[in-house]
Structures are given as structure tokens and as C-alpha cells.
Structure 1
Amino acid sequence: MKPIIATKGKLTQLRYELPHRAHDSKIYPVKAPNGSTIILYGHETGVGIVWRGGRPLKKSAPPPKQPAKVNGTSNDAIMIIDSDDEEPAKAASQQPAPEAEFEEEEEELDPDRPYPSIIQHLRLSLNTKVLQVAVPQIPTVSSLRPADTIPAIFSKKMVFTVACADSTVRVITLPLSPLPDAAKEKPLSANSQFGEQIVKIHGHQSITRGVTMTWTSNAEPISKDRPADDMDVDREEDATATPGRRRRKQQSRSRSRPRTEEGFALLVASHSAELGGVLKIWRFGLAETSLNVAHPIAPYKVLTLQKPASRVAFCTAQYPKSRHSQLLITDSTGTARIYDLFASPSRKRRASGGQDEPGAFVGTFRSTFEGVKNNAYTPAVLARRKPIIDAAWASDGHHILALLADGEWGVWDIDRSGPSPPTNPSAFSLRGFVGTSEKEGSASGASSPKRSGRSSLAPMTPNTRRRKEETLFHGSSSSSAVATRGGISIASSTSANGHTSEDSVVIWYGSEVYRIPDLAKFWSRTASASGGGSLPGPGLQVYDVSLLGEAITSISQFDTSTQASRMAIARDALVSAEHRLIIAVNTNQPLGRDLNAMFAQEQVDDEETRRTDQALLSQGELDLGGMDRLLENMEDSGTVSKTLTLGGGPRKVLFASSAA
């Protein structure tokens, strides 16, 4: 895959054209053993896997040619053994996938095009469209997070889930390392192309609208072992406790929980519109290199929703934090609810005779109402909340960022730990607007300028007269009934102190892309500005991405280094369009070679040429070309007169300046 490079300002776009339609794309959170970044995208017939950057594969030598066979020289012999006592030969066990060999060092980048190349591109065929791709949250191994606290399979295999057009959900494992050329040309076995394991789930009767995944411990849930009052949610004393005290209590409980079973498990959640809205959750054991699946595959839990969900996402907090099992569920009615998979059932449900099984809704949040021009003629019953296009977890699961249908975005403060907690906990603590909106401003946060629409002096026709009468007597609702496509991408990194989370936010609405470099700093500046503490900081940054007439299907963000984060260098972004993948790279220095170095080298070359010409002139061997160079050098330097010594004698030649 060779990119088409286009540069505009400080943003460079690497455009990779695809021969098929791309429905979704994700960046895998773990790099390959050779240092490559892995990109997954769903297309018309399966999944595409791209290894970008890192150490390239060693070029394998071509196989030796077999000598030509000549009649009469064959040494083949046929041996017939008649033995009834021997057992039939056992089927040969499946051979493991061959390991690839890499170069010792990473590829040397061209100074004119300093971008990593594509090491390998695979297409895993599933014989159906892949509409959604989900990857788990995987922490980096460090002194604070030892390797034994993370499933071992994540260090050897990539594990991801796809939602297909045939109403199936498939959990796929694949080697992290790029495959050698020999493994690409010949399938590993009849059931495996590249050493993958595919778990096919027939759980829905209609096409799955979304899928999400995370991992937990086999010891979960342990809610039945806890007292009824020892819950993370719906506690009366938690209303007066500070967020810091609540977090310390939850962390102490998570550390003191007894583990009755070792190992880890994978949680997969998918939702569809069947029966008015269904959410199903599956649970699989994680071995060292594979998934432990028991057939027939049955869902771990089934939830019937009031409305079909528009977005479902597991919390970005990771085990052993107690909120790692929380599930965010949003719908088109403007409601966002949090379901804790392992929470103890509420006292009210136990008193009413409900099933004493873990799992409960622990929080509800609602979007703002749609704007109406004539409130006097619109009954309050007809007021509707704005539909939620997308929502994502932020700040390690302490906040939720939502994007509404009319371009409004906002942050829900779950545990009231933000800089400006609202009076109503279910309302936005921070809000703003992107794209075209009827709102000219917001209570807090940045907003995009209002775009001027069609002139109000339009000619009066029967059609426009009828619309004006309806607006006059019935009011006019906003245009959010037809939701524009949009989404949110949040990439988190731990700050230097190791406690706070730095969230880089990218919001796309229609064909426009916006960016918040650090959500916490943006929120603090906005809160202090609204309180009169200081001047407002910069608003949302605009990403100028050339889509060439195509629609955005998804946006993800690449990982960044600690040094780049300290220097506030924006993350590179992966923009998935309909038939191309676009990598937006932020260039803080001009592309190509260093201009200062080029000018310095030119000055050195000119000085050396001038000295050579002077030496030839002193010996009387300088030709006419050398004299022209000397004269041109004198004119460029602006010297009034120059003295050239001829033949080393006392004779001197004076050249007057052209300005004289």
C-alpha cells in the first residue's frame, strides 16, 4: 500500500485507496513484536489487517529449483506392506504458524517523506460484510502494572470482535506478529488461513447495531460474597462522601476481594433493534494463546431495553477497578444509562421478589431539550430531548462525553469530580456546539459561530405561506429529528504523576472534525472563565481533512510518546472514509530537508569555489567563466571596489561597483 501524500499547513494527510468499501476501523492498543502499529478495518468480505512501521521483514531467498525429471532416471519405488496388525495412521496435528524474521533495525525514513511504510497488509476473509470492529482496553506493562495482572494472551495474540451483516458476532484471535511471505501464500490449514481462531456467535435475529468488549477476572462477580450494604452504588452515605473518599473505598474493596478462581475472562456485549431493543453479553475464558469456548454458546446475560440502543460501550477503567464492568447504554430518546454487570441487586428489586442475580442500573443521564421557537403554542408534553449520536467514557470512567443530533456536545460528571459540578447531576457540566446549530452560545464551553442561512426575504409562494402559518400557530422544532452522522474518539494517557488521565478528544460531525488536546485543561479554563477568574482559553481546534466527497465512517487516534505529550504535540489520527483510509499527521517542522542546513551547505560550496577561483587568478590560469563568477560575487556582496591580484605581482585591477 503506497500512500498519496497531501500537505496543508501543519497537517499532512496520507491517503490509502482501498479496492472495497470500509465500514469501520480501529487501532489495536498493543504493538507488534517488531514495533509495528496494527490497524484493523472492516470491509465487504471480511477484515483487513495492516502493520505500519517497525522493523521490516527479512527478504526470504527464493526456493531452489528442482532438477528436471528425465524418463528412466526416476528412483521412485513402490513398497507394499500387508499387515493387519498395524493401526491406522493418526491424523497429523496442526502445525503452529511459522514465525517471521525481521531486520535488526527499523527502516530508515526518507527525509523528504518521513512516514513509516506499510510492512504487511492481510485480508482475512469471512464471506460477509464487517460493519463494526471492537478492541479491548489493554494496559501497558510497567512497575505499577506487572505482567501477571494482564491476560497472557494479549502479549502473543490480538483479540478483537466484529459485528457482521449476517447478524452474527465473531470473536477473532490472530498472531500479533506479521506473517512471513510463505505463510501468506499458502493457508496454514483447511480451517485457518493465518493461524486465527474465530468464535462465531448466532445471538441476534437482526443485524447487530454495535459491539464492545473488555476483560475481567474469573473471580468476578463476587457481589454475592459481599454484605448487602457493601455496594458501590445506591448507597445513602455516598451522597455526602467526597469523590476521593468513594474512590479510596472502592479501591480498598477491590484489593481486599478474595479471588476464588484464577485466570481471566473476556466480556463481549452486542445490541440490536429486535423486540424493541435487546442487549446480550457473552463471557469466554482466556487461555494463554486461545479462547475457552463451551458449545453451545449461550449468552451470559440478556437485557431488554426500552428503546433500541444507539451506542453501547464498556467503561475504559480496567480491572481490578470496580467500575471496569460498567456498561454505557444510550438511545435516540436522549437517555444515557449506566449498567453495572457485577453490581449487587437493589434492595427494592429483592423486596419485590426479583431474581437475586448481579447486575443493576446505577446511573441515568439525560440530554437537553430541543429548541422551539414559539414556546407559547407548544405544549410541554410535546417537548422532546435531543437524540444522542455517540457517547464515550472519559477520565478513566469518571466522566461521559456525548454528542447530540443538533451538534451540541457535553460532559456528564458521574461522580461530581470535575471543576464545575452542576446542580442537577443528570445535566451537562460542560457543553458546547460543533457544526451548524441554531444556538449562538452556550452556558459554558466553546461554541462554533452561527452560520448564516437563506435570506429571510424569500418570495412568498403557497408553499412558503403554508410553512409560515404552521410555524406561527404550531411552533418550529429543531432539525435534529434527522440525525447527522457523527462520533467521538477519546485517547487517554497517564500524566507524569501517574494518577490523572490526559484525554485527547476528537469529535466529528458530518464532514467536520474538531479536536480538544486535553479535556481536563479545557474544562478547567472554561470553568474559570465562566466564573470570572481569567480570560477564556482557545476553543475547539478544527481538523481540515480532505475527504474528496466521501463520508466519514470512523475516527481513531494513534498512541503518543511521553515527550510528545509534554510538548503538547497533537496525536496522529486515523480517518476511515468510504473507500480510503486517511492518516492525518501533525508536522511541527517543515517537510523535506532542513532549509537552514541546505543554505549553509550552499554557502560552504560557494566559498570553496571562490577560493579556487582566487587561486587560479593568482596563477594567471583563471578562464572567462571564473571571471564571471568573481564579478557576480562582487555584485551580490555590494562591495564598492574589489582588488584582485594577478600573477602575484604588484599589478592590481580595480572593479567599480555598478551603482557608482
Structure 2
Amino acid sequence: MEARVTKRDKKVHLSYELRHRTHSAQLYPLSTPNDSILVVCAYDRGIRLIWRGGRLRKEMKSQGPNGRQRPPEIIVLDDDEEEQQAQAPSDLDAFERTDEEIDPDCPYPSITQHVDVVLDSEVLHLAVPLLPTASIRPSDALRKHAAIAVSCDDGSQRVLTFDLLPPSNDDKDDYANDIRDRQIHFPSAGAECTALAAKIVLTQGHSDQHVTSLLLVSTASNLLQIYRFAVFDSLTDLQQDAELQTAQLPHQAKSVQFHPLATSTQLLLTDQSGAVRVYYPFTTSDSPNTATSAPIEDEAQLGEQGKWITAFTSSFASKAGKPPRRKQVLAAQWIRSGRAILALLDDGEWGIWEVYGNVPAGKSANDFVVRGYLGASAAAEPSSSGKQSKNAAKLAPMTPNTRKVKSENFFSGATKAPTMGQAKGGISVSTSSVRAGQTDESVVMWYNSDIYCIPSLQQFWQRSTNTSSNHNFGSLYAPGLTHITDVNLFNESVTSISQFAANAANSGVGHMNTQRDLLIATEYRLSILQSLRPADTPARQLFQPQGGLADAPAVRDQDMLDAGQLDVGGLDRMLDSMANGDARPRRVGFAR
């Protein structure tokens, strides 16, 4: 797979053309044993597995008489009785010891391998399981194998398992055949699956000591189905009859998500009525109504029937000549470690519901605590009273962000807001650990062809809820909401967006407001938006003084601030310079 490369400012845009229509592309949450990043694509003939970066396979230098590679030699450690065993060959012996070398002129990892797994149906939905770090410690099975869930246009749902190591070019066909042979079919419920989710949770006290965790797969249409698979020491032993639990839904489901906490099995469902519901599938009559569920410790303690915990409904939208109706929910995701819900509506409105928090004075449980509008819908916010609201009457602060939005509208003209029922959108939430044991989240929302980013949800939440206003923010008023404009979609519709994990060099104070690298899937294309690190500033030296840059500390600090890499010491130097009355012109370090 060759990329079409476009460099702009301090970012590089990679575009990979695909031969088949793609419905979704997701990043697997774990890196492969050879340090590659695995991308799973669902398309009209099956799934495609793509390995990006990492250690490459060694060239086959020694060949046998039949053209096959000779077996590795046995290495004896020493002559002691306890050390006379031969060192068993490892699958990683076929790979180089270091990652691939990055070309400075093309500073991005290459696609090292890809495999097409052709199924007998079109894959419509793809679910990569939530896989917390704590769940991979008891066994090496999840370090070496992957498990995903798919739903197809024939009404079937399946679990596919495969080795995380990429195969060689000669073994690609066998690798794909093994995945097809090991796939697990769910019993069809008769209705087409409209929502799919998967999660791996820990279990204790299981009757089989070789069971380390449970794979939960939830499918939904008019009926919610939850399958439970026991994950043994080897993920290849997943061939079993799954336990099934069902619940009738009042309306057809549009999406389903598992709770992000490792010990919780709660589900977040959206349906066609404009409602977002929270469901606890494994509960008993005396289970507490709390934000976090107890870990699955004993199967005997699991209840047969689930419990609906709460429901939120969207606001009404009125149209001339038609009765009012509730706005449709395009997407909803857990945020703030499951304490809140972020929802995107079909008119471009987005908002945050508090699940178990205190409702602000003057608001009901269905009211958004924080809300705003995306795209051109921000200018079309309805006003029931016919007067401007208190916040709408205020002037937006003229920052480089707002100037950029205004200049775009000035030269391109006002964009017509999409009519209801035709809008498309989604939400991607990525969790990262920061200092002092706290977790932060990066949020990406897309509405039609517009993409927006909240790099630090923790800061965004604090700044939004601590304001003296009534927590009503439009796209120009919301602090920390950035419009990503440097993505070329080639006039194709976005089908999914995933966020790459934050690198070790990107964690810390200097990168809390740095946008993540993005994987954007459109109808016939995969795009990667990647930030470029300055070539003369290695990652390990970003926060250390360097003699080569000591000549111009002010210029260096400003450049690092623009790149989102300025540390606390640099901020102190800039503040001291301002306090001393430095009259030199300075650029304001807002996101561009």
C-alpha cells in the first residue's frame, strides 16, 4: 500500500486508496509483539488487516534445497545440568531487533504488511474490544492474539481471532484461511444487527482455572443480545458455545457501547426515538445503582435479568408545517471515566449529560451541562423566545482560532446547514494516563465533513463548568474545541475516526493540548493525519536545555509553544519576559 503524501505546516497527511468500499477502520488497542500498530478495516468483501511500522521481517538468506528457509540452529547456553536445554526458537526471531528506519524526508512509518480476509458476506459493523491494560496481565494469550467481532449483511455476527504477528508474504493465504476456519458464528436472531460492541473483562473464581477473562459481545437491533465467551490461556481455544442473555428494546438501537472502566459491564445504547439509555446486564435485585459495577468474581452471583438504570432524551426540533419531534442522536460515548455522556445530535448540536453528578440549579436531568454546535449549525441555533440568549449577546473573544473561523466563512461563504435526517457524525474518545495517577481523555467529533478536536477533556471540563455563565457554549465560545481543517477527504463521506495512542514522548505538561494523530476512514480511502516533530529536536531532548538553541531562547520558546512542546520552565521564561516589559512582538500561542 503506497501513500499519497501531503506536507503542510507541521503535519503530514497520508492517503491510501482502497479498492473496496470501507464501512469502518479501527486501531487495535495493543501493539503487536513486533511493535507494529494494527489497523482493522471492515469492507464489502470481509476485513483487511494492516500492520504499520514496527520491526520488519528478516530477509531469507539461508535457503534449503526446496527453496524453504532452514530451521534455526539450536543454541546451547552452557554445560551445566540445569542449563543444558536448548533455547527454543521464538516467532520474533524472524524479525529485526530494531524498528524500521524512518526516512527524514518521509518521516512516517510504512505499511509493512496487509492481509485480506475474504468472508462470504459484506461486513457492515466492526467492534474492536475494549482491552484495559489490567486485563492482559494474567495470561500471554491477549498479548499474542487478537479478537474482534463483526456483523454481516446476511444477519450473522461472528468473532474472529488471529495472531498479532504479521505473516510473511508466502504465508498470507494460510494466515487468512486460518482466520476463516476459526471464526465463531452467533445464532442469528432474525433481525439485521444495527449496533455492535465488544469488551474483555477479568473474572475470578471461575470453575476452570485456565479461564482468565470473559469476552463480552453485544449486538442490538430490536433485541439486545449479550454473548459471554470464556477466554482461556490460549485465545485459540475460543471455540465454545457462548452464554446468551437478551433484553427487549423499546425502539430499534442505533449504537451500543460498553462502559470504559475495566470492572464495569454497563452498556450505553442510543435508539431511533432520540434517547440514550444506560443498561446494566449482570445484576441482582439488590444491586446498587452506582456508576461502577462490581467486578465479575463468581458466575453464580450474576443475575439472569438486567436492569435499566437511566435514560436521557434529546430536545425537540420544530420545522415549519410539521409537528415537533425529538432530534436524532448521531453518536454517544462515555466520557470522564463513565461519569458523563457526550452526545452529538443530527442538527450539529453536541452536549454532555452528567450520569451520576449533581444537576446544576435551574436545569433538569435531560438538559446538557455543557453544549454547543458544530459547523454551520452554530449560526442556526434556534431561539424559542425570539430574543438572543444571554451568552449569544456577548461578543466572542477575538483569538487566532475565531479569526480563522471567520476568515474561512468570509472567503468561502456561509455553508448551508444539512437538513434533518441527512446528517452523519460520530465521536471518538481516547483515554490516556497523565501525572499523579489521573486520567485524561482526547475527544474527536465529526459532523458531515467537519472534524473537531478536544485535546484535553479534563481541562475542557474544568474551564467549561467553572464559568460564571449558564454553561451554554457555541462553537466559538467553547474553550479547547478546535476545528481541524487540514484534512483532505477527496469529497468522500467519513465512515469512522480513530485516534492513535499518545507516544511516551508526547505525555506530560507540554503536550496536554496537543492533537492526537488521527486515522480517518472514508468510503474508498484511509487517511492518516500525523504531526511532525522537528528534526533537530529529538524526543529525549524536548525538555532539556541545548547549547545549539541557547543563542535565541525567546525564539525557541515561541516555536516550542506553537508546537505544543513547551515545558513549565519555558512558560516561566516567557512570563518573566512579559513582566520585564519586553517590547518585541510575540505571536499568541493559540492552536491554529
TM over 0.5: yes
AA paired with 1:344?
Answer: T
Residues 514/270 of structure 1: CA separation in 2 closer, same or farther (3 Å cut): same
Gaps of 5+ in 2: 68-88, 288-301, 383-387, 397-401, 539-547, 549-592
Q: Distance in 2 between matches of 1:208 and 1:60?
A: 45
Which residue number in structure 2 is paired with residue 35 of structure 1? Answer: 35
Aligned counterparts of 1:11 and 1:63: Cα–Cα separation in 2: 43
Q: Secondary structure at the match of 1:497?
A: helix
Match of 2:366 among 415, 423, 426: 426
**Offset of 1:30 from its aligned partner?**
0.4
Secondary structure of the structure 1 residue equivalent to 2:467: helix
Partners of 1:502 and 1:592 in 2: CA distance? 26
State which of 322, 329, 335 in structure 1 corresponds to 2:275.
335
Pair 509,453 (structure 1): closer, same or farther in 2 beyond 3 Å:
closer
Rounded Cα–Cα distance in structure 1 between residues aligned with 2:191 and 2:274: 23
> What is the identity, as a one-letter code, of the residue corresponding to 1:269?
S
Residue 249 of structure 2 is aligned with which of 301, 305, 319?
305
TM-superposed deviation, 1:346: 7.1
Report the CA distance between 1:152 and its aligned residue. Answer: 4.0
Q: Kindly state the Cα deviation for residue 492 of structure 1 after the two structures are TM-superposed.
A: 0.7
Q: 1:484 to 1:66 in 2, by over 3 A?
A: closer
Deviations 1:40-96 (A, max 9, x none): 0011211111111111111113745569xxxxxxxxxxxxxxxxxxxxxxxxxxxx9
On the 8 A contact 1:173/1:196 being kept in 2, the answer is no
Q: Structure 2 matches for 1:529-568, cutoff 5 A?
A: 529-531=467-469, 538-544=479-485, 545-566=487-508, 567-568=510-511
Structure 1 equivalent of residue 451 of structure 2: 513
CA 16–301 in structure 1, closer or farther in 2 if over 3 Å, else same: same
Structure 2 partner of 1:363: 310
Tell me, yes or no, if structure 1 residue 163 matches structure 2 residue 105: no
- Show the counterpart of 1:584: 529
Q: Which of 288, 304, 313 is equivalent to 2:233?
A: 288
| Structure 1 counterpart of 2:6 | 6
CA contact (8 A) 2:329 2:344 kept: yes
Provide the rounded CA distance (Å) in 2 between the counterparts of 1:41 and 1:550.
17
With normalisation by structure 2, the TM-score equals 0.72
Deviation at 1:505, TM superposition (A): 0.6
> Is it true that 1:184 corresponds to 2:168 in the alignment?
no
- Taking structure 1 as the reference length, what is the TM-score of the superposition? 0.65
2:346 aligns with: 405
Structure 2 CA distance for aligned equivalents of residues 563 and 47 of structure 1:
32
| Corresponding residue number in structure 1 for 2:137 | 147
Identity of aligned residues (%): 31
In structure 2, C-alpha distance between the alignment counterparts of 1:308 and 1:326, rounded to whole Å: 19
Residue 161 of structure 2 aligns with which residue?
Answer: 173
Give 1:103's match in structure 2, choosing from 96, 116, 127: 96
- 1:427-466 matches, within 5 Å, as 427-437=367-377, 438-439=380-381, 452=414
CA distance in 2, matches of 1:591, 1:21: 41
1:154 aligned partner, one-letter code? L
The 1:146/1:163 distance shift into structure 2, 3 A limit, reads closer
> CA-to-partner distance for each residue in 1:240-266, whole Å, 9 max, x for gaps?
xxxxxxxxxxxxxxxxxx777753211
In the TM superposition, what whole-angstrom CA distance separates every residue of 1:342-375 from its partner, at most 9, and x where no partner exists?
122379xxxxxxx9734100111111221457xx
**Which letter does structure 1 place at the counterpart of 2:499?**
Q
* Contact 2:520/2:528 (8 A) holds in 1: yes
Match of 1:124 in 2: 117
Map of 2:197 onto structure 1: 212
SS at match of 2:463: helix
1:310 Cα offset (Å): 1.1
- Aligned mates of 1:536, 1:479 — CA distance in 2: 22
Structure 1 residue 328, shift from structure 2 partner = 0.5
Partner residue of 2:518? 573
Of residues 271, 277, 287 in structure 1, which corresponds to 2:220? 271
Q: Is the 8 A contact 1:444 1:530 kept in 2?
A: no
SS in 2 for 1:127: coil
Aligned pairs for 1:246-265 within 5 A: 263-265=212-214
Deviates more, 1:479-488 or 1:557-566: 479-488
What amino acid is the match of 2:506? Answer: A
Describe the superposition over 1:592-635 as per-residue Cα deviations: whole angstroms up to 9, x where unpaired: 99xxxxxx9xxxxxxxxxxxxxxxxxxxxxxxxxxxxxxxxxxx
The residue type paired with residue 284 of structure 1 is F
**Inter-partner Cα distance in structure 2 for 1:532 and 1:205:** 47
Alignment of 1:79-94 (within 5 A): none
More divergent stretch after superposition (132-141 vs 162-171): 132-141
Deviations 1:5-33, CA, capped at 9 Å, x for gaps? 01233332101111211111100000011
How many residue pairs were aligned?
472
- Cα distance in 2 between the residues matched to 1:304 and 1:393: 22
Q: Say if 1:172 and 1:197, in contact at 8 Å, map to a contact too.
A: yes
**Counterpart contact for 1:399–1:412, Cα < 8 Å:** yes
Q: Does 1:133 find its partner at 2:78?
A: no
For 1:420-457, what per-residue CA distance to the aligned partner results, in whole angstroms no more than 9, with x for missing partners? Answer: 68732232111110023221798889998897478xxx
Change beyond 3 A, Cα 1:536–1:578: closer
Is this contact kept in 2: 1:11–1:584, CA < 8 A?
yes
RMSD between aligned residues:
3.6
Q: Which residue of 1 aligns with 2:556?
A: none
Residue 142 of structure 2 contacts residue 235 of structure 2 at CA under 8 Å; is this kept in 1? no
1:344 aligns with 2:329: no
1:590 Cα deviation after fit:
7.9
Q: CA deviation at 1:400?
A: 0.9
The change in CA–CA distance for 1:17 and 1:305 in structure 2 (over 3 A counts) is same
Pair 1:66–1:264, CA change in 2 (3 A) = closer
Taking the aligned partners of 2:483 and 2:537, their CA distance within structure 1 comes to 25
CA contact (8 A) 2:160 2:184 kept: yes
> Does 2:324 match 1:383?
yes
Match of 1:392 in 2: 333
Q: Give the secondary-structure state (helix, strand or coil) at the position aligned to 1:133.
A: strand
Tell me which amino acid in the other structure corresponds to 1:515: C
Q: Distance in 2 between matches of 1:34 and 1:421?
A: 53
Q: CA deviation at 1:480?
A: 5.6
2:460 to 522, 539, 549: 522
Q: Distance in 1 between matches of 2:274 and 2:375?
A: 19
SS at match of 2:436: coil
- The answer to whether structure 1 residue 197 and structure 2 residue 182 are counterparts is yes
Q: 1:326 to 1:25 in 2, by over 3 A?
A: same
Q: 1:360 to 1:117 in 2, by over 3 A?
A: same
**SS of corresponding position for 1:23:** strand
Contact 2:107 2:532 (8 Å CA) reproduced: no
Which residue does the alignment assign to 1:229?
none
Answer whether contact 1:552 1:576 (CA < 8 A) is retained. Answer: yes
Distance 1:116 1:357 in 2: 48
1:218: Cα distance to partner? 4.4
Distance 2:504 2:434 in 1: 9
Name the aligned partner's letter for residue 94 of structure 2.
E
8 Å CA contact 1:422–1:428 kept in 2: the answer is: no
Q: Does 1:46 align with 2:46?
A: yes
How far apart are 1:393 and its partner, in Å? 1.0
Match of 2:74 in 1: none
- Higher alpha-carbon Rg: 1
CA distance in 1, matches of 2:118, 2:34: 25
**1:532 CA displacement:** 9.6
AA of the residue aligned to 1:288: D
Q: Secondary structure at the match of 1:524?
A: helix
User: Which residue of structure 2 lines up, in the alignment, with residue 351 of structure 1?
Assistant: none
CA distance in 1, matches of 2:181, 2:92: 14
| Contact 1:98-1:183 at 8 Å conserved across structures | no
